[in-house]
Chains A and B, each alone.
Chain A
Amino acid sequence: MSFRMIAQERPGNPWFSWDYVQGNSDTILAALREHAALTAQAVLIATVVAIPLAVLAYWVRPLTGPILALSGALYTIPSLALFAFIAPYLGTGTSTVLVGLVVYALLLIIRNTLAGLNQVPPEVRDAARGMGYGRLAQLLRIELPLALPGILTGVRLATVSTVALTTVGVLVGHGGLGQLILGGFRNNFFRAEIMTGTLLCVLLALVLDLLLAGAERLLTPWSRRRAEAG
């Protein structure tokens, strides 16, 4: 009952306060910067690792099942458990958070890249071979560009979920905006701090999603033209 009193009946604990935001802009910006940096690094590394794996699964059919099953199993492991596996080895730094985030982003990107590659029409593949493209040239100049919508879908899904997942990094003290959320909770249930962290987190996810959607439009002009024609 005493907790309830502190949290609810105490006056001057509003859900949002400009005073707090102005007075602590340095802390808030630092948290936001860490959050954005962790998300960007994680998605970038995951993309660089996932695309070759997806290509491998695409080229070597017998490997498709194992690669998808392994990344699926990794995805089932709860985030807290994953961070707990990594922390004793990498310590309580950003690297622990980064490795965990990469693992989760991997599955989404692999799965969507593979779906994109599989959607390339067989006639297109035949035509490329008939024109004398080698395997690698065909991949780089025909198949990957045509799989781009799938790849970008994966990257977008991975980005949005990584933004939310980064907050779990508070476990090792590097959760970006999660530091504000949990910090506010531990600091006498300071609502303004919790709410600022939450809002910035959702906003960051929204902004990154819109940016990637814009990039998708720029990079795949043909799909827009097709949509207009149809």
Chain B
Amino acid sequence: MNPIDQAVRWLNDPLNWTNPGGILDRLVEHLGISAAAVALGCLVAWPLGLWLGHIGRGGGLVVLVSNVTLAIPTIALLTILPLTPIGFGKPPVILALAVFAVPPLLANAYTGIRQVDPEVREAARGMGLSGGQLLRRVELPLAVPYLAAGFRTAAVQVVATAALASFVNGGGLGQIVAAGFGLGISVGGGQILAGGLLVALLALLVELVLALVERLVTPRPLRRAVRRTRRRADQRATAAITGS
């Protein structure tokens, strides 16, 4: 029997869905861990990114953070954090995933504030707005599309990376794949494939839903302008990374 038939058969068994540690349990676990990690990432990255954008400094820091996290393997954080005073359980997994959520959130919050038209900022100042009022009433609303884009990138990445938590028995849909490998490929091949399929579908689903959300929170007149400036921001970021 080929792996695809095996996978279909495995997915068709209702007990595989409803058993303790079945697909539904794992799905809830996966979403819970991911949501907590993204929330934690937002809590740290957004205030920092908005503030750095507001004072117009720290662009180098933003690039540095994304470069360093690119080179750190997820598995390293997942195995190291439980051995620190944080201890075992969900918190180290959530923290490890949050670390990988920070770069896109931070970079987009920073760019979102920086791209605000200097003339708009001048006008706001001229109307007598203080620094805090400027950030809250002018810069923040104009940065919302960027915050949404960063949120989408971070959330998709966290949902994808959360599958790796299974390496340290951290729960989530990855456990299904890991259990399949535990059975060996000839027996567990279908389960491996089915688990992979579920993880991939979840990631694509999150991507689609959040793309829709991103569209909804971007006011229509801003849509085209946002796309244009973001492309320019990407190029600048690439140039900064390569040092050219």
Contacts and interface: CB of A to CB of B under 8 A. Distances in A.
B156 interface: yes
Interface string B83-110: 1010110000000000000000000000
B203 A167 contact: no
A171 B76 contact: no
B3 A181 contact: no
Interface stretch (B18-26, B113-121, B142-150, B236-244): B236-244
A153 interface: yes
Interface in A132-181: 149, 152-153, 156-157, 160-161, 163-165, 167-168, 170-172, 175, 177-178, 181
A80 B196 contact: yes
Given A76-B207, A167-B76, A81 B71 contact: no
Interface stretch (B53-61, B126-134, B185-193, B216-224): B185-193
Interface residues of B, number: 49
A58 interface: no
Interface stretch (A23-31, A36-44, A60-68, A184-192): A184-192
Given A80-B163, A81-B197, A85-B193, A178 B185 contact: no
Interface residues of A, number: 59
A194 interface: yes
Q: Name B's interface SS.
A: helix
B123 interface: no
Contacts of A184: 79
Contacts of A202: 71-72
Interface in B148-206: 156, 159-161, 163-164, 166-168, 174, 177-178, 180-181, 185, 189-190, 192-193, 195-197, 199-200, 203-204
A81 B83 contact: no
A201 B76 CA distance: 9
B70 interface: yes
B16 interface: no
B72 to A, nearest CB: 6
A206 B192 contact: no
A48 interface: no
Nearest to A78: B160
B200 to A, nearest CB: 4
A177 B75 CA distance: 11
Given A161-B70, A194-B79, A213-B243, A84 B196 contact: yes
Contacts of A78: 159-161, 163, 199-200, 203
A94 interface: no
The CB with the most chain B CB atoms within 10 A, among A76, A88, A205, A223, is that of A88
Given A160-B70, A191-B83, A76 B203 contact: yes
Contacts, number: 159
Contacts of A89: 3
Interface string A64-107: 00000000010011111111110111011000000000000000
A157 B70 CA distance: 9
26 contacts: A4-B87, A8-B85, A76-B156, A77-B160, A77-B203, A78-B159, A78-B161, A78-B163, A81-B203, A85-B197, A87-B192, A88-B3, A88-B185, A88-B189, A91-B185, A149-B244, A157-B70, A167-B73, A167-B75, A171-B177, A177-B73, A185-B168, A195-B80, A198-B72, A198-B73, A205-B71
Interface of B: 3, 67, 70-76, 79-80, 82-83, 85, 87-88, 156, 159-161, 163-164, 166-168, 174, 177-178, 180-181, 185, 189-190, 192-193, 195-197, 199-200, 203-204, 207, 235, 238, 241-244
Given A76-B203, A153-B238, 19 more contacts: A76-B160, A77-B203, A80-B174, A87-B181, A87-B185, A88-B192, A92-B185, A112-B238, A156-B241, A160-B67, A164-B72, A181-B79, A189-B82, A194-B83, A197-B76, A201-B71, A201-B72, A209-B71, A227-B244
Interface of A: 3-4, 7-8, 73, 76-85, 87-89, 91-92, 112, 115, 149, 152-153, 156-157, 160-161, 163-165, 167-168, 170-172, 175, 177-178, 181-182, 184-185, 189, 191, 194-195, 197-198, 201-202, 205-206, 209, 213, 216, 223, 227
| 3 closest Cβ pairs, A-B complex | A84-B196, A78-B160, A88-B3
